């Protein structure tokens, strides 16, 4: 899997991939909506070379982490940010093997969770998120919707309705809000996503 993603980030320009956003308005509005202090610890899981980290730095967030399975994606994001990259913690890891050394007040995932298609992978993700997010912390996850594409970057994804996504997280998280939203790709097509935000329950 790591090889697939390194190949993608080696061979494709940012605007060659369907998930590209010039400015991640939706994700920024979700994170801003959590009303966290700027010192809050925020992680973008499967952040790739998304510009979310740039936007959050500009908004004054001080404790940002970007995790991705692809070292090449992280290299690209760092190169884009230049010296500002030093203000971010970068982690190259498969999220299902991530061993967090700190907790996170907000966990953001746009289009990564849906690549986990087996129960052990999903269970590992949920258990790591549960451990990493303390009671009251937020988790935002966006996947292809059950009406959306069946593949992303040539890989089969697991599609979710709002209820199905809620069911996955309900054991340890309270659902705050879910909606279907449309992402306009750089190719002029549209992709339907399901986006949900949750809050970690007390243990």
Look at residues 195, 163, 197 and name the one whose alpha carbon lies nearest to residue 182.
195
Q: What are the backbone dihedrals phi and psi of residue 32, each rounded to the nearest 5 degrees, phi first?
A: -60, -35
Q: Which stretch binds ligand SAM (CB under 6 A): 46-54, 83-91, 176-184, 192-200?
A: 46-54
Among residues 70, 143, 145, 194, which is the contact residue for ligand SAM, using CB under 6 A? 70
Does 96 bind ligand SAM (CB under 6 A)? Our answer is yes
Question: β-pairing, 173-184 with 106-110?
Answer: unpaired
Per-residue interface string for the shown chain with ligand SAM, residues 140-169, x marking contact by CB under 6 A = ------------xx----------------
The dihedral through the CA atoms of 50, 54, 60, 62 has a sign that is positive
Helix, strand, or coil (residue 77): helix
Closest CB to ligand SAM among residues 12, 201: 12
CA-CA distance, 5 to 65, in Å (whole number)? 19
Among residues 41, 76, 110, 158, which is the contact residue for ligand SAM, using CB under 6 A? 110
For the beta carbon of residue 172, count every other beta carbon within 10 angstroms.
Answer: 18
Closest CB to ligand SAM among residues 15, 39: 15
Does 105 bind ligand SAM (CB under 6 A)? Our answer is no
- What are the b/e assignments for 115-131, b being 16+ CB within 10 Å? bbeeeebeebbbebbbe
Q: What ranges in the chain are assigned the alpha helix state H?
A: 2-11, 25-33, 52-58, 71-81, 119-132, 162-169
CB of 197 to ligand SAM, least distance (A): 16
Does 63 bind ligand SAM (CB under 6 A)? Our answer is no
Q: Which residues pair with 89 in a beta bridge?
A: 65
Does 68 bind ligand SAM (CB under 6 A)? Our answer is yes
Q: Report the residue closest to ligand SAM, judged by CB.
A: 48
Contact 191, 153 (CB under 8 A): no
Among residues 94, 130, 146, 180, which is the contact residue for ligand SAM, using CB under 6 A? 94
CB of 108 to ligand SAM, least distance (A): 8
CB of 58 to ligand SAM, least distance (A): 17
Q: How many residues bind ligand SAM (CB under 6 A)?
A: 20
Binding site for ligand SAM (CB under 6 A): 1, 5, 19, 46-48, 50, 68-70, 73, 94-96, 110-112, 115, 152-153
């Amino acid at each position: 899997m790591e090889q697939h993603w390194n190949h993608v980030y080696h061979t494709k320009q940012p605007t060659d991939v369907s998930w590209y956003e010039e400015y991640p308005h939706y994700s920024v509005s979700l994170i801003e909506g959590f009303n966290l202090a700027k010192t809050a610890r925020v992680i973008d899981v499967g952040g790739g070379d998304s510009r979310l980290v740039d936007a959050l730095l500009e908004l004054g967030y001080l404790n940002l982490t970007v995790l991705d399975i692809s070292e090449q994606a992280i290299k690209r994001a760092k190169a884009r940010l230049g010296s500002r990259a030093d203000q971010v913690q970068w982690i190259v890891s498969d999220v299902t093997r991530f061993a967090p050394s700190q907790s996170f007040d907000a966990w953001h995932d746009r289009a990564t969770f849906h690549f986990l298609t087996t129960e052990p992978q999903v269970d590992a993700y949920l258990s790591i998120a549960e451990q990493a997010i303390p009671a009251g912390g937020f988790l935002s996850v966006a996947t292809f919707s059950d009406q959306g594409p069946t593949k992303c970057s040539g890989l089969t994804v697991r599609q979710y309705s709002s209820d199905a996504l809620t069911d996955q997280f309900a054991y340890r998280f309270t659902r705050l809000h879910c909606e279907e939203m449309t992402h306009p790709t750089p190719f002029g097509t549209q992709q339907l996503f399901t986006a949900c935000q949750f809050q970690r329950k007390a243990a």
